[in-house]
Amino acid sequence: MFGGFIILVVGIMIVSWAVQNSLKRKFKKYSQVGLSIGLSGKEVAELMLRDNGIDDVQVVSVQGRLTDHYNPLDKTVNLSPDVYAGRSVMAAAVAAHECGHAIQHATAYAPLKMRSALVPLQALSGRILNILFFIMIFGVGASFLPYEMAGILIVGVYAVFTLFAFVTLPVEFDATKRALAWVDQRNITQGKEHDMATDALDAAARTYLVAALGSLAMLIYYAMVFLGDR
């Protein structure tokens, strides 16, 4: 089983690396293609929010690369510097995608509500997993937490991870769908720019798909290891 585990982990890592690397290449490529209408990512985001009747969400800049996200707690669309100030196809596509999440929040999109509800459980599961691996590797606390029980808990934790990952998929794909529909209808992207925006966001979506499948593979593996004989 250990050999199979190593092969599984390495396989997931290779696929994940390939998808992430493809995403970075495409984002770099399309960040060098200027948007015909000359809007910055910040301006695109503000326009999309305004078109959808959302006036209580702020567009702000955050540090880092590929750190763009929507925060439903403080209602902010957070854009990395290259997206916030950038006037490229990539900046417009990413800004519109994050605004897609703001629209989901404003319209009480069910999968987004479910993902938000799972966030605390996801965080708790991560902490539990670290403790369990520490116990199983070093034997700490073995007297009150038998190996079999630890295994069952690990399966439960990966079940949470997998559920969260698959609930994330419709959230991300729907945000992309909303973004692409709006930039097309508003003529934000013109001609080949729209194909580039679609390619960039599709590449980003594939990272979530790979993460979900990787989590499912790990869940199945641990279920076979710890529950296979039951």
pLDDT digits (tens, 9 = 90+) for 131-184: 887 776 666 555 556 667 777 888 999 999 999 999 999 999 999 999 999 999
Full-model pTM: 0.87
Q: CA 116 → CA 74, 88, 207, 228, distances in Å?
A: 13, 31, 20, 32
Which pLDDT does position 168 carry in this prediction? 97
Which pLDDT does position 16 carry in this prediction? 86
Given 43, 98, 172, 193, the catalytic residue:
98
User: Using CA of residue 42, residue 43, residue 44, residue 47, what is the dihedral sign?
Assistant: positive
pLDDT, tens digit, 9 for 90 and up, residues 4-55: 667 777 888 888 888 888 888 998 999 999 999 999 999 999 999 999 999 9
- Whether 197 contacts 180, CB under 8 Å: yes
> Is 46 known to be catalytic?
no
Share of the chain above pLDDT 70, in %: 91
**pLDDT band per the 50, 70, 90 thresholds, residue 101:** very high
Domain coordinates of the chain in residue numbers? Answer: 2-227
Which pLDDT does position 140 carry in this prediction? 53
pLDDT, tens digit, 9 for 90 and up, residues 174-229: 999 999 999 999 999 988 999 999 999 999 999 999 999 999 998 988 888 877 65
